[in-house]
Amino acid sequence: MRSTSGGVAVVMFGCVCLTLQVAIYAYHKPAQAMPLLLLVAASSSARMVGLHRARHGLAASNLVVLSGIAWASTVGLICALCMLTGEIVLTTVAALTMTGFAFTSAYNNAGIPRLARTQVLIVGVPFLLASLFTGIAEMPVILALGPIWILGIMHLVKATHKSVAATITTQKRNAFLAMNDDLTGLANRVSILGAIENMARDATADGLPERPYVLYLDLDDFKPINDRFGHQMGDFVLRTVAGRLRDAVGASGQIGRVGGDEFVIALSPATACEAAEVAARLSEAARLPVDLGGGHSVQIGATIGGASVGSAGVDAALARADARLYEGKRQGGGVNRFD
């Protein structure tokens, strides 16, 4: 788990501000200044280490949370002590620090909403309680307004968390769609062609005698399903068959959807015999009946063309596999042809 915190730079800025605040406080309470400065240094360092490790995937969630609570406790303590002095400069600075920290936590740590809420309470509650003991007659008004302020911050945490979660979900979805087919979940054209290129490059680098093999598969008799049952049911059939084809390929290679009912299978360095075995499994999987419900079922098939990726490259191999595919189509479909 990673905090959505702005990171080390935010804590460094907070450390500088809090150090200056302690320096002002030292004018009134010099004996307490050094312990507070050491506390600021220790808690801010722990927080920066936690955030740095989290950014690089090295920190466990408890380190991020504990360092965040320690840092908030330090800020809350210093702001409360400044309030208790009753000095106008220190109370004003404490109010600014507390407010800035609360809003920063609400926004930057919204990815961990419980931590953000806890930090707000740790900083805000001591500040509000200390306002009762400042000796300033009007100061208790702050305590009266405090619950409203805290509720507002909590709402901000909730709203920001929703926004962050929605953004992350959208980013993951877009990343998935960039490499995968939306309907079937298989690799899309870009992804499967890239896989073939990588297989060919690796085979060349390793000096393997076998080359990657590509299979071009086209479903037979799929269009009548759309015409008879509608595109929604056609999509269901396509998803079902795509899942079966993926299982048929298994660990032998990768499969991607490159068109309406067209698929490309990339086989890691394989012989024509091994490719034929995979093609046979694919043909058998494609022929399995698909239950549409309501007493209806459909059965389709597949025609497959195959070619080895030679020195002419991936595009040439795909063109040859496509040519073998249409040779099979001209024979009535349901056959597998290879170079």
Nearest to 128 by CA among 88, 76, 90: 76
Contacts of 205 (CB under 8 A, 6+ apart): none
Burial class from Cβ neighbours inside 10 Å (0-12, 13-18, 19+) for residue 139 reads middle
Sequence-distant (≥ 6) Cβ neighbours of residue 335 within 8 angstroms: 303, 304, 328
User: How many Å apart are CA 137 and CA 248, to the nearest integer?
Assistant: 80
Output the CA torsion 234→240→244→245 (10° steps).
Answer: 40
Q: In 3D, which of 222, 245, 225, 219 has the Cα closest to residue 304? A: 219
Beta bridge partners of 267: 213, 253
Which of the following is catalytic: 220, 261, 315, 339? 261
Q: Residue holding tokens 């920190």?
A: 59
* 291 flagged as catalytic: no
Active site residues: 261
